[in-house]
Copies of this chain bind each other. A is one copy, B any other.
Amino acid sequence: MKEEYCDASETIKQSGLARTPQRMAVLEALILAIHPLSAADILALTAEKTKINRVTVYRILASFRDRGIIREIETGHANSSYEMACAHNPVHPHFRCRDCGRIICLPPLTLSQAWDWLAQPADFTVERIDVQLIGLCAECIKKDNGNTVASDNF
């Protein structure tokens, strides 16, 4: 999905946040990621490079999200993923596997259609559209044949 990369140092500087090793590690992980990362993913990746606490990861993610540096993809059942929100990674829908929870980025082809009809006046503001396609990914289709009960998978 991404063809170019942001500069982590520059991004943090422009945000007004302090350039700490922990924030650098989190942002670099997200910049290099080819798919959205959960907080647990990020903790695992950053812990290799820096001393970092689980709580710190949550706080850094919240601070980045609040400044529009990253997008939070809410995947249900308290397990959000995060991706860069820079010019190199425009808003796009995601596919989520109901079985393994995997998040796959989809091309941003049809969102313009959705925005069109949102141009109609309404008494609420729409800041974001989450288009989530939920089903089974290739691996899980192979893995379970006729024995999957939706309730048991989360």
Contacts and interface: CB of A to CB of B under 8 A. Distances in A.
Contacts of A138: 123-124
B66 A151 contact: yes
Main secondary structure of the interface of A (DSSP, over half): mixed
B77 A75 contact: no
Interface string A116-134: 0110000111111111111
Interface string A55-79: 0000000110110000010111110
A126 to B, nearest CB: 4
A137 B123 CA distance: 7
B127 A130 contact: no
Contact of A74 (B77, B95, B123): B77
Copy total for this chain:
2
A123 B125 CA distance: 36
B130 A134 contact: yes
A150 interface: yes
A26 B98 CA distance: 25
Contacts of A133: 118, 126, 128-130
Interface string A34-73: 0000000000000000000000000000110110000010
Interface stretch (A2-10, A12-20, A82-90, A107-115): A107-115
A63 B117 contact: no
A21 interface: no
Contact of A130 (B77, B130, B149, B151): B130
A77 B78 CA distance: 4
